[in-house]
A and B are shown apart, each in its own frame.
Chain A
């Protein structure tokens, strides 16, 4: 009984010390849900885009998410956080979307296409008409790289897109674009966040093929 008690105490000591002192535990935020960004993100005019998600572990999984943080007047940063299973799985359908936005006066937590915080804000850009008379959002020169940072590629939002976005926002519903261009099934997201959609990550591993590959590599 005494030895069992000692062993348990040793295990608790190890877990406690490993949690407190391990380098992998230091410097990485834990995100309970999107509201947790309020503590991490402090700059105004900032949008946080979910870029990738990853799970490690065998029996007890640890979930990580990678975000791209774009601030109006700061550098673009990459943010990796630890999170819980529910939040990670729920947001698998929100890859490539902005999960958090901070304006000067308020915060938003609804999943929306990246860059929606800047649409309609004249500090960042303006609506311009093309030859067919359709209005498109064009960023000012100072923010010319934003479409690349936001993962738009060649996509440019139209005024119609913007109106639909405002409508969904008022209804408190997530928005994936007029033709669902964003999100895991969206063409724009698939083209601009290729890491998440890599073939080897999507394919299901079969035991038979895994064993054949192993024997080919090792013998």
Chain B
């Protein structure tokens, strides 16, 4: 009984410690986003600005996703396991916020947080930001798990992941009919669902490329690169296939001017593209990672 009670106390104490780390994250957030000082450090009123609430809380979901991958090794002692969590938790916060900062600088290079969220309450910006937060968190989590407590490997893989994500976000303009900058200015929700589906799909593909056994970092990085290029080859097949199997009607039969543009910018088309991207990405991960060709060398 005493042992069970002791373990319960340890769990409660560790839960409090994780809360403390999230509290620290609140302040770390301000370092990378100085303009959100008001938003982060004061009491938040969700009803006042839903876009702002979504923007902030998506990051909290993100940091929770990353923290969930860190393990406490209680057998090495309570304080040592807390120290381990503090070190890796702090690292996770820094890497996560840096990644978000870099990726959002690439995607929103024409837009500013203060203008779009605080002044214009742009929900499209907030939803895209939410998807970024989730995807980056999931990828940082994957990279941290693959690093297996090695700081050097973590740094190499994190940089590698950032490069791949950086290139992948630019891929959206190739595969979507929606114009990112124009629709973002218009606060168009079709864009956010389409881009959201795209970024979640890309995140799934990249995470699956990183998720493999590794004994040698060079061979591992080569395998990740090859899988990423392979995914780029397979994904368009599924995207085209799904769009052929489920064709959508765009524009008016009578050819009224502007109806095509209106239909593309509709919420329905955003859902359609977003779902096609996610489904295509999931099927791509299956083709890239789930086919076992077997090994004959040197066993035959």
Chain A residues engaging chain B, CB cutoff 8 angstroms: 3, 7, 10-11, 13-14, 17-18, 21-24, 28, 52, 54, 56, 64, 66, 78, 80
12 A-B pairs within 8 Å (CB atoms) are namely A3-B174, A13-B229, A14-B229, A14-B233, A17-B226, A21-B225, A23-B219, A52-B300, A54-B296, A56-B294, A64-B296, A64-B300
Query: What are the residues of chain A within 8 A of B34 when measuring CB–CB?
Result: none
Interfacial residues of chain B within 271-300, with CB under 8 A of chain A in the complex? 293-294, 296-298, 300
> Shortest beta-carbon distance, A197 to chain B, in Å?
14
If A54-B296, A54-B300, A64-B297 touch, whether A10 touches B222 (CB-CB below 8 Å) is: no
Given A21-B222, A21-B225, 9 further pairs, Cβ under 8 A: A7-B236, A10-B229, A14-B233, A17-B222, A17-B225, A17-B229, A22-B226, A28-B297, A64-B297
Chain B residues engaging chain A, CB cutoff 8 angstroms: 174, 219, 222, 225-226, 229-230, 232-233, 236, 293-294, 296-298, 300
> Shortest beta-carbon distance, A10 to chain B, in Å?
6
Cα(A3)–Cα(B298), bound, Å: 40
> Shortest beta-carbon distance, A180 to chain B, in Å?
26
Query: What are the residues of chain B within 8 A of A64 when measuring CB–CB?
Result: 296-297, 300
Query: What are the residues of chain B within 8 A of A17 when measuring CB–CB?
Result: 222, 225-226, 229
Cα(A202)–Cα(B297), bound, Å: 20
Cα(A64)–Cα(B230), bound, Å: 25
Query: What are the residues of chain A within 8 A of B294 when measuring CB–CB?
Result: 56
Cα(A80)–Cα(B300), bound, Å: 9
Query: What are the residues of chain B within 8 A of A18 when measuring CB–CB?
Result: 226
Q: Which residue of B lies closest to A3 (CB)?
A: B174
Q: Which residue of A lies closest to B230 (CB)?
A: A14
> Shortest beta-carbon distance, A112 to chain B, in Å?
25
Cα(A7)–Cα(B230), bound, Å: 11
Q: Which residue of A lies closest to B293 (CB)?
A: A56
* B225 x A80 contact (CB < 8 A): no
* B232 x A10 contact (CB < 8 A): yes
Cα(A24)–Cα(B232), bound, Å: 22
> Shortest beta-carbon distance, B17 to chain A, in Å?
42
Name A56's contact: one of B219, B225, B236, B296 (CB within 8 Å): B296
Q: Which residue of A lies closest to B225 (CB)?
A: A17
Q: Which residue of A lies closest to B175 (CB)?
A: A3
Q: Which residue of A lies closest to B237 (CB)?
A: A7
* B226 x A10 contact (CB < 8 A): no
* B226 x A24 contact (CB < 8 A): no
> Shortest beta-carbon distance, A22 to chain B, in Å?
7
Cα(A18)–Cα(B219), bound, Å: 12
> Shortest beta-carbon distance, B287 to chain A, in Å?
13
> Shortest beta-carbon distance, A129 to chain B, in Å?
42
Query: What are the residues of chain B within 8 A of A28 when measuring CB–CB?
Result: 297
> Shortest beta-carbon distance, A76 to chain B, in Å?
15
